[in-house]
Amino acid sequence: MKTLAGVLKPLSGSFETGGEAVLVPTRIPKVKGFTVEEFIRTGMLAEFGAFKRLDKRSESDIAEAIRMMDLNALSTKDISKISDGEFQKACIATALTKKANVIMLDEPTAFLDVENRIMVLQTLQRLAHETGSTVIFSTHDIHDGVIYSDTVLAL
């Protein structure tokens, strides 16, 4: 995943995304003092700059990502005070605001209960089908991979 995202140099070959690619790794640290909404917003600052205001479209994208990941009730909570599963959903919401051609997720259902695992996978599947984005995710649960993927690569 890190090679596909451009974080690591490939040993050989190439990978073309046709646009932006975004990677949601596992084990992102929770930094005290950021609300869920602020954490998601920081992902947009790379595009606009740390001291610029986000445009209305970006604000709408943030609100939509919060809604898609069912984070409305948590949007004003400090990320250091939410569960690991709730934080995982916030990390995914951050990636959704990017509108990337390729979204890569390393174990996106880690720390999630069954209900939220299904919601996240259904949302990612719907996103891929409706927007044409490619969603690549790793999982140890072959059942999830088969049910929520159009193509499965087993290693």
12-71: pLDDT as tens digits: 988 888 888 888 887 788 989 999 999 998 887 766 666 677 889 988 999 999 999 999
Split at pLDDT 50, 70, 90, the class of 118 is very high
Task: Say if residues 129 and 102 touch (Cβ distance below 8 Å).
Answer: no
pTM comes to 0.88
Mean pLDDT, the chain, whole residue set: 90
- Residues 24, 117, 147, 141: is their CA dihedral positive or negative? positive
Split at pLDDT 50, 70, 90, the class of 134 is very high
- 67 backbone dihedrals φ, ψ, rounded to 5°: -65, -45
Question: Ramachandran region of residue 132, left (φ > 0), alpha (ψ -120 to 50) or beta?
Answer: left
Q: Which two tokens stand for residue 56?
A: 């209305």
The pLDDT > 70 percentage for the chain reads: 95
Q: From CA 137, how far away is CA 154, in angstroms rounded?
A: 12
Q: Say what the pLDDT of residue 130 is.
A: 93
Length of the chain: 155
Q: Say what the pLDDT of residue 27 is.
A: 78
Compute the CA torsion angle 43, 60, 91, 66 (nearest 10 deg): 160
List alpha helices for the chain, DSSP H: 36-48, 56-68, 84-96, 114-131, 142-148
Q: What CATH homologous superfamily does 21-148 map to?
A: P-loop containing nucleotide triphosphate hydrolases (3.40.50.300)
